[in-house]
Structure 1
Amino acid sequence: MGEWRRLRLRDVCERVDYGLTASATAVDTGTRFLRITDIVGARLDWRTVPFVDADERTRERYRLARGDIVVARTGSTTGESRWLAEVPPGAVFASYLVRLRVKAEHDPRFIGYALRSPAFRSYVAGVVGDKSAQPNASAATLTAAVIAVPSRSTQQAIAAALGALDDKIALNDRIVATSDALRAAVWEAAVAANPVTVPLSEVAEFVNGRPFTRGATGHGRMVVRIAEITSGPGPATVHHDLDVADRHLARPGDVLFAWSGSLTVARWFRPEAIINQHIFKVIPRAGRPPWTAYEAVRSRLARYRAIAADRATTMGHIQRRHLNEPVTVPGRTPDLESLWQRALAAEQESLALADLRDTLLARLLPAAPGPVADGEQVRSG
Structure 2
Amino acid sequence: MSEWLNMTLGDFVDLQRGHDLPSGRRVPGPVPVVGSGGITGWHNEAKVSGPGITIGRAANLGVPTLVEGDFWPLNTTLYVTDFRGNDVRFVYHLFQMLDLAGFNSGSVQPMLNRNYIKSFPIRVPGRVEQAAIAEVLWSLDEKIAVNERIASTADSLARTHYERERCGLVGQPERLDRLARVVVGSTPSRANPDYWNQGTVNWINSGKANEFRVIEPSELITEAGLAGSSVKMMPPGATLIGITGATMGQISRLEITAGGSQNVAGVWSGDPTVNDWLFYDIQARVADLTKHASGGAQQHINKKIITDLDCVVPDAPKLAAWHSTTAPLLARVTHALVENRTLAALRDTLLPQLMSARLRVRDAEKMVEDHV
Quickly name the TM-score band, shorter chain normalised.
Answer: 0.7 to 0.9
Q: Distance in 1 between matches of 2:32 and 2:115?
A: 26
Unaligned segments of structure 2, at least 5 residues: 359-372
CA offsets 1:201-253 (integer angstroms, 9 cap, x no match): 33332221224584497966786443333379xxxx97564433696457765
1:318 positional shift: 2.5
Match of 2:305 in 1: 322
1:167 and 1:23 map into 2 onto residues whose CA distance is 32
Distance in 1, Cα, partners of 2:257 & 2:119:
40
Cα distance between partner residues in 2 of 1:239 and 1:64: 43
Q: Is 2:194 aligned against 1:228?
A: no
What secondary structure sits across from 1:329 in the alignment?
coil
Cα offset for 1:351? 0.7
Q: 1:70 to 1:206 in 2, by over 3 A?
A: farther
**Residue 361 (structure 2) aligns with:** none
Counterpart position of 2:122: 147
Cα separation, 2, equivalents of 1:202 and 1:171? 40
**CA distance in 1: counterparts of 2:48 and 2:188, whole angstroms:** 41
Out of 179, 191, 197, the residue aligned to residue 203 of structure 1 is: 179
Aligned equivalents of 1:28, 1:289: Cα separation in 2: 45
Corresponding residue number in structure 2 for 1:68: 52
Match of 1:377 in 2: none
Bigger Rg over Cα: 2
- After superposition, residues 176-195 of structure 1 pair within 5 angstroms as 176-195=151-170
Write the letter of the residue equivalent to 1:8: T
Aligned to 2:250: 264
Q: Is the 8 A contact 2:239 2:253 kept in 1?
A: yes
Alignment of 1:1-381 (within 5 A): 1-18=1-18, 20=20, 33-37=33-37, 39=38, 49=40, 63=47, 66-73=50-57, 77-85=60-68, 92-117=72-97, 120-121=98-99, 124=100, 137-196=112-171, 197-212=173-188, 214-215=190-191, 224-230=204-210, 239=219, 241-242=221-222, 243-244=225-226, 248=232, 254-260=238-244, 261-262=246-247, 263-268=249-254, 275-288=260-273, 290-308=275-293, 311=294, 313-323=296-306, 324-331=308-315, 332-333=318-319, 334-335=322-323, 336-366=326-356
Q: Is the 8 A contact 2:208 2:218 kept in 1?
A: no
Q: What percent of counterpart residues are identical? A: 22
Q: Which has the higher contact order (CA 8 A, sep 6+)?
A: 1
Amino acid in the other structure paired with 2:166? V
**TM-score, length basis structure 2:** 0.73
How far 1:346 sits from its partner (Å)?
0.6
- Deviation (angstroms), 1:32: 5.6
Structure-2 change in CA distance of 1:315 and 1:351 (3 Å): same
**Aligned-partner SS, 1:83:** strand
Quick one: which amino acid aligns to residue 298 of structure 1?
Q
Q: CA deviation at 1:300?
A: 0.5
